[in-house]
Structure 1
Amino acid sequence: MERRVPVDEGVELWVEERGDPARTPLLLVMGANASGLVWPEALVDGLARQHRVVRYDHRDTGRSTWAFDEHPYAVRDLASDAVRMLDALGIDRAHAVGMSMGGILVQLLLINAPDRLRSATVLCTSALGTGLAGDSDLPGPAPELLAYWQTMGEERDVEAELDWRVEHWRLLNGHGVPFDPAEFRALEQRVIAHSGTPRGPVAHALADQSGLDRGPELAAVRVPTLVVEAPEDPINPPPHAPHLAGLIGSATLATVPGMGHALPAAVVGPLTELIAGHTAAVDAEEQRVR
């Protein structure tokens, strides 16, 4: 089921739900400048076997409102969007899964709205105050990615834009699992058709990053949290995941061998199994203590 949900004045988010609405909700929070369609269908379907799965387009991506030029916002506002969306859907508490910038947003939810979360899973991300959103001694993105990002947002025709996006995914994928250009070209063809434009989203790269230096507050988190390490991640390489898991008082650390900063078919099965196992254990414990 698809719908558009208002989250701010003049801003609506495209939302899709899948699975039995009577099951515990699970919210998928995608990364920067990425439509919710980037979540692989096999992962969404796998999680929908035990959850009411909600995925959505951030503002300025996909079918959600694009208005950054007229109404700029901060990255932290995207976490508020997620809470307002849960409100609009009548969801009191959800499992939250965040990838990349989505992992940053889930960390903000762990601090600002822990009562809205049953559990959290973060992957391919860095701790608040580190990585792209901070300053630390941890390693930064690969130089070839930083150079490639300089061409983000340039005007291209559809085929050239598809070529740019596929090459971007190749760089993000890393070298741990095979990269299939046809798989990611088909993904981006679906994303462009869904968005209705080949224009590449860039708003989140321009958004205000203030208010994200809150890593020390993660020590107080008590929501059951799974940190998934992507050992071949060229944006947040090891030891970002162990560092984040060490900051969160309730965290468990797990690894998907070979995973980079992309979700090719080769990693979807192991990742789905990790997330589903984590959320099932939390749901079972909640049932036990009732």
Structure 2
Amino acid sequence: MFFNNASGFEEGYAKKDNLEIYYRDYGPVGGIPVLLVMGLGGQLTFWPPYMIKRLQDSGYRPIAYDNRDMGLSTRFESNPTFLSNYLKYYLNIPIKSEYKLDDMANDAVMLLDYLRIDKCHVIGMSMGGMISQILVANHPDRFHSYTQIASMVSTPNPSNGPSFRVIRLLQERAFKNATKEERIDRAVRLVSTIGMKGYNYNTKEFRNEVGQSIDRSKDDTGFIRQMAAILGTRDRIKKVSNIKIPTLIIHGDIDPLVKPKNAFHSHKLISNSELLMVENMGHLIEEPVFNKFKEELIQHLDTNC
């Protein structure tokens, strides 16, 4: 199982003004909270169950949530196009977006306030790592530690961003009129390209999990708006260089979406950071990949409570 369809959790909406953020609190109540911030186009169910269980077994209380425009959280209405945004991306032309990564970071703070959590650990994956950088830089007093997985500091550009093949696969997700089966097929193609080498995603179990994810949230238009937020947000280099809380940077040595050199850049900017490069890890956390860094992750959390 790659997607998390576990039971025995509490879930609901954190609400402020016209914004609703859907969250899932895995507990236990007495555990030390760990906020999980998912990446581009990912629902809270994308956090793998073996990672959730290991955190719980180690005395932690994982809390995942749907970023705005994804899953069951509030949807926005602008209609940017993939091609126009990526043309601007290649030409270094500023990109307008309905919201920025800073707004998404504020959503996380709102969730913590709603749950009355004064201080926690935060783990950010890909775009979630970008959001978490802003979180820990702006609110260092609210976080014990930061773990960055498969993320970057700079705004993506042709030199540090995804390969052309990956961009073509991302473009497929922008097609709005795909059937459920077509969406499952393209998900298999994408994860097979960006994941670890030799891992078989084209299985009945995985296809069923993707189908359940689609059923949970049929509207996929938020993917393009989230991408616009990434491309439309300025580099966080100065902000990230001010991060002082203990940081663990985890990155795959074959990541085709966020190139490995981005991990070294983050490590150079964050003075209080450790870098863990994971062999044969792409841009995902398959169970064999998680097994390669789970001990270092728990040690990082334990050391900085």
Relative to structure 1, is the Cα distance of residues 44 and 140 closer, same or farther in structure 2, using a 3 angstrom cutoff? same
**Aligned AA for 1:188?**
V
Partner of 2:42: 34
Q: How far has the Cα of 1:102 moved from its partner?
A: 0.4
Unaligned runs of 5+ in 1: 284-290
User: CA offsets per residue over residues 249-268 of structure 1, 9 Å max, x none?
Assistant: 11011122211011222212
Cα contact 2:148–2:249 (8 A) shared by 1: yes
Shift of 1:37: 0.7
One-letter amino acid of the counterpart of residue 76, structure 2: A
CA distance in 2, matches of 1:25, 1:37: 18
Distance of 2:131 and 2:243 partners within structure 1? 14
Q: CA-to-partner distance for each residue in 1:214-258, whole Å, 9 max, x for gaps?
A: 213323321000000211110112221111111101101112221
Matched, 1:152 2:165: no
1:227-238 equivalence runs, <5 A? 227-238=249-260
Counterpart selection for 2:101 from 75, 96, 107: 75
Letter in 2 for 1:153: A
* Matching residue within 190, 194, 204 for 1:168: 190
Residue 20 of structure 1 aligns with an amino acid whose one-letter code is P
Residues 1:118 and 2:126 are matched in the alignment: no
Provide TM-score, normalisation by structure 2.
0.84
Q: Which residue of 2 aligns with 1:280?
A: 302
Instruction: Return structure 1 stretches of 4+ with deviation > 4 angstroms.
Output: 208-211
SS in 2 for 1:181: coil
Trace 1:1-290 onto structure 2 (pairs within 5 A): 1-6=10-15, 8-49=16-57, 50-69=59-78, 72-127=98-153, 129-130=154-155, 132=156, 138-154=159-175, 155-175=177-197, 177-182=198-203, 184-195=206-217, 197=218, 199=220, 201-202=222-223, 203-207=225-229, 209-283=231-305
- Alpha-carbon distance in structure 2 between the residues aligned to 1:79 and 1:261: 22
Residues 166-223 of structure 1, C-alpha deviation per residue, up to 9 Å, x if partnerless?
Answer: 1111111153x5233225423312312322x264642202337444322133233210
Alignment length (residue pairs):
275
Find the aligned partners of 2:48 and 2:196 in 1 and give their Cα distance: 18
Distance 1:193 1:225, change over 3 A: same
Q: Assess, with a 3 A threshold, how the Cα gap between structure 1 residues 184 and 246 changes in structure 2: closer, same or farther.
A: farther
The 1:179–1:200 alpha-carbon spacing in structure 2 relative to 1, beyond 3 Å, is farther
| Aligned Cα root-mean-square deviation (Å) | 2.1
Cα deviation for residue 161 of structure 1 reads 0.8
Worse-matched range after superposition: 254-263 or 35-44: 254-263
Tell me which moved more, 37-46 or 178-187. 178-187
Mapped contact 1:24–1:94 kept (Cα < 8 A): yes
Look up the equivalent residue of 2:260 and give its one-letter code. Answer: P
Identity of aligned residues (%): 29
TM-score scaled by structure 1?
Answer: 0.88
CA contact (8 A) 2:148 2:248 kept: yes
* 8 A contact 2:134–2:240 mirrored in 1: no
1:226–1:251 contact (8 Å) kept in structure 2: yes
Residues 192 and 199 in structure 2, CA contact (< 8 A), matched pair in contact too: no
The alignment partner of 1:96 has SS state of strand
* Structure 2, gaps ≥5 residues long: 1-9, 80-96
Instruction: Quickly say closer, same or farther: Cα 1:242–1:99, change in 2 above 3 A.
Output: same
